[in-house]
Structure 1
Amino acid sequence: MSDAAQQAASAAQALQEAATAAGRAPSVHNTQPWRWVSVPQALELWADRSRQLHVADPDGRLLTISCGAALQHACLALRAAGWEPAVHRLPDPAHPNLLAQVTVTGHHNPAAQERRLMQATEQRHTDRRPSAEQAPPAQSIELIRQAAVAEGANLHPLSGDGLDDLAVAAARANEIGLADPDQREEMGYWIGGRRAAWTGVPDDVVPEREPHTDVPGRDFGRRGTLAVGEGHSRADVYMILFMPGDGPKDWLRAGEALSACWLKATDLGIAVLPLSSVVEVPATREVLHRMLAGVGQPMLVLRFGMADPDQPPIAQTPRLPGERVVREGRFPKP
């Protein structure tokens, strides 16, 4: 085999491994709504609409954000493995489910930070329990914000009246969601109970009771088995992840930013909880939009807090095996 052929084979293998590593990315309700397709010298990221929350997320905003997080994981895996990725987002307007195409343009000398962030993909998780009564360092929050900015997004901090308005909006979003029987049924499929294998949110990561927090998290309409201490997350930092626009490319980039800042937070020892219910409801999403005072469009609210050292480790949510999400050939087009 020639040197060129060996390099092409090595690059193809790296792309396959990156797609598998991307399976550790966060997604709404752990739906993992992506499919990777290996084509000659490239990797395609497709939205899998069978895993879309058609009631809570009819436009596919959260689905696309989830896929963006997987895209960032894949690119990080390539850089950590010594390859320079190139991303073409939404490459085919005729096929909107094709979200991105990833190729490699050459070799890359991995930085120590990239290797650490790659390790963070295995440690990152969602913890709905109260954080420690210690505020995250301001310098760490700024580094997290810079990670989002590097992906084309930004983070807007909330305090005072803004935090009060967020708490009211989050509670209202929970009320609206639980009042909708279709949404309750949809949550019932993905949260505990009956759901697709290797996906969804198991009972052991759902709190056994409502945690004490300044801003309520999502009310799943059921209790899990995750023990919750008596602490109150008063020292947490709440920020709106926002983008300049509100179209599919913005959603995809928002997911990349979510992944980047979450992994940076994990590397810094800071726990992250995404609050997505407040952006699912148009009325409460508009509240967030007004908080941004015209500088951008809200994608998610993120809670940053120091992990409570007295809490036991939390279980990892299940993940689809690589053979279920990575394939060769073409993904079926609508």
Structure 2
Amino acid sequence: MSEHTDEVTRALVQAADAARFAPSIHNTQPWRWVVRAGRLELFGVSERQLREQDPSGRMLLLSCGTALHHAQVALVAEGWRHEVKRPAGDPLATIRPLEREAIHPEATRHFQMLQVRRTDRRTVTDDAVPQETLGHLVKVAEDHGAHLHVLDRDQVIELAAAVDQSQRAQDSDERLRAEQAKWVGGDRDENTGIPASALPEEVPLTTVAERDFQTSGTLPAGSGHDHAATYAVLYGTGDDAVDWLRGGEALSALWLAATEQAVSLLPLSGPVEIPSTRQTLRGMLSGTGYPFLAVRLGTLDPAHSAPPKTPRLPAGQVIEIL
């Protein structure tokens, strides 16, 4: 094996390792990486798909897309130009390094955000996200093949109704509640799922309700409200598997950019998981796109420390080197 091949293999393994920190639906981490012949292949793992909540596998694809973007961020931070192919099948995507180039400070900052990013379900402050920052986030989404539609006040109320409707539909489904209970709460010794340490003690009082996991956490919810929060819909122009994968890449890029701007991003996937409420979100887009999820953007209280990291599967369980 040549020195160059060794270098490429090390870079790909490091990229797959960095991708372990990507966000995923209920922290299911539904991905697997294979390093072979100078390329990194991404596969979905059906055993970690939410069969009741996500029977179509859209959220699995979105989650795999965030991991795919994380891996690319890690490669760029090491100075690797690369190409990505997204075939309509297995693997979901293939990354192939091309050549080394100068490392830019911006790439290093993006890589640092992989470790800083959190899912924070607590209330936000009364300081609104500046318009300039919102404009930057809209551009980030567009640069990564998606769109971010910022909702006006009337649409926020409409979103709140859709979230409430989707929550009630899911609460009435016994099988879905049982599946959720397997992934949420407790200490999560199996290195997946959402531990109690990452959940508020009670569901925060907000205009747009957060998902009610039917279990208490240990984080103080906060005394604020979401009056100053901005709500938006992340969407794409297509609804095929590759579109959802690209949507996950855009979500990851958007989330890292928000973190770098000291903006909290909370994904709201509930209304996308129910056909009727997903149609409501599509109506907010005037039928011009397909919603991936809604997001809350807000400013966190600087006095609050970040929530603890959610657990991650060990590298040996998600990375295979051939």
Q: TM-score, normalised by structure 2?
A: 0.97
Secondary structure, counterpart of 1:216 in structure 2: coil
Alignment of 1:225-240 (within 5 A): 225-240=218-233
Task: Please tell me whether the aligned partners of residues 42 and 103 of structure 1 are also in contact (alpha carbons under 8 angstroms).
Answer: yes
Counterpart Cα distance in 2 of 1:158 and 1:136: 13
Partner in structure 2 of residue 258 of structure 1: 251
Q: Do residues 165 (structure 1) and 162 (structure 2) align?
A: no
Q: Is the 8 A contact 1:244 1:295 kept in 2?
A: yes
**Which residue does 2:44 correspond to in 1?**
47
Q: Find the aligned partners of 1:313 and 1:299 in 2 and give their Cα distance.
A: 26
Cα distance in 1 for partners of 2:289, 2:103 equals 33
What is the rounded CA distance, in whole Å, between the counterparts of 1:98 and 1:170 in structure 2? 33
**CA deviation after TM superposition for structure 1 residue 310, in Å:** 2.9
Which residue number corresponds to residue 181 of structure 2? Answer: 188
Q: Which of the numbers 263, 269, 274 marks the counterpart of 1:281?
A: 274
- Counterpart of 1:146? 139
For 1:84, the aligned partner's letter is R
Once residues 307 and 273 of structure 1 are traced to their aligned partners in structure 2, the CA distance between those partners, rounded to angstroms, is 11
Counterparts of 1:28 and 1:135, CA distance in 2: 27
Counterpart secondary structure, 2:94: strand
Would you say how many aligned residue pairs link Structure 1 and Structure 2? 322
Contact (CA 8 Å) 1:68, 1:256: kept in 2 or not? Answer: yes
1:60 equivalent in alignment to 2:57:
yes
Q: Distance in 1 between matches of 2:280 and 2:187?
A: 34
Q: Equivalent residue for 2:25?
A: 28
**Which amino acid letter does the alignment assign opposite residue 73 of structure 2?**
L
Is residue 205 from structure 1 mapped to residue 198 from structure 2 by the alignment? yes
Instruction: Name stretches of at least 5 consecutive residues in structure 2 with no aligned partner.
Output: none
For the Cα contact (< 8 Å) 1:48–1:97, is it kept in 2? no
The offset of 1:305, in angstroms, is: 0.5
Of residues 108, 122, 132, the one that matches 2:125 is: 132
Shift of 1:320: 0.9
Instruction: Map Cα deviations across residues 264-323 of structure 1 (whole Å, 9 max, x no partner).
Output: 000111011000111001111000011100221000101110111232331111111111
Which moved further from structure 2: 186-195 or 69-78? 186-195
- Hey, what does 1:332 align to over in structure 2? none
The match for 1:69 among 66, 69, 74 is 66
Deviation readout 1:157-191 (Å, 9 max, x if unpaired) = 11221111000000111111111001000100000
SS of the equivalent of 2:50 reads coil
Question: Secondary structure, in 3 states, of the residue corresponding to 1:212?
Answer: coil
Amino acid corresponding to residue 282 of structure 2 in structure 1: H
What's 2:110 paired with? Answer: 117
Distance 1:97 1:132 in 2: 43
Secondary structure (helix, strand or coil) at the match of 2:92 reads strand
The structural deviation recorded for 1:196 is 6.5
1:217 to 2:214 alignment: no
Counterpart among 56, 60, 79 of residue 76 in structure 2 = 79
Q: Is the 8 A contact 1:208 1:226 kept in 2?
A: yes
The aligned amino acid for 1:237 is T
* Equivalent residue for 2:86, pick from 85, 89, 101: 89
Q: 1:272 aligns with which of 262, 265, 268?
A: 265
Q: Which amino acid aligns with 1:7?
A: H
SS in 2 for 1:213: coil
Q: What corresponds to 1:14 in structure 2?
A: 11
Aligned to 2:303: 310
- Deviation of 1:195 after TM superposition, in Å, equals 5.6
Partner letter of residue 130 of structure 2? P
Moved more, 220-229 or 23-32: 220-229
For residues 21-67 of structure 1, the C-alpha deviation after alignment (integer angstroms, 9 at most, x for no partner) is 00000000000000001111001000001000010100100000000
Unaligned runs of 5+ in 1: 330-334
> In 1, distance between residues paired with 2:207 and 2:303?
20
Q: How far 1:214 sits from its partner (Å)?
A: 1.6
Deviation at 1:251, TM superposition (A): 0.1
Q: Which amino acid aligns with 1:191?
A: V
SS of residue matched to 1:109:
coil
Moved more, 24-33 or 307-316: 307-316
1:232 aligned counterpart, secondary structure: coil
Structure 1 residue 108 displacement after superposition? 2.4
- DSSP-derived class of the 2:278 partner: helix
- Of 79, 99, 107, 2:92 maps to 99
User: What's the C-alpha RMSD, in Å, of the aligned pairs?
Assistant: 1.2
Taking the aligned partners of 2:55 and 2:289, their CA distance within structure 1 comes to 21
Secondary structure at the counterpart of residue 233 of structure 1: coil
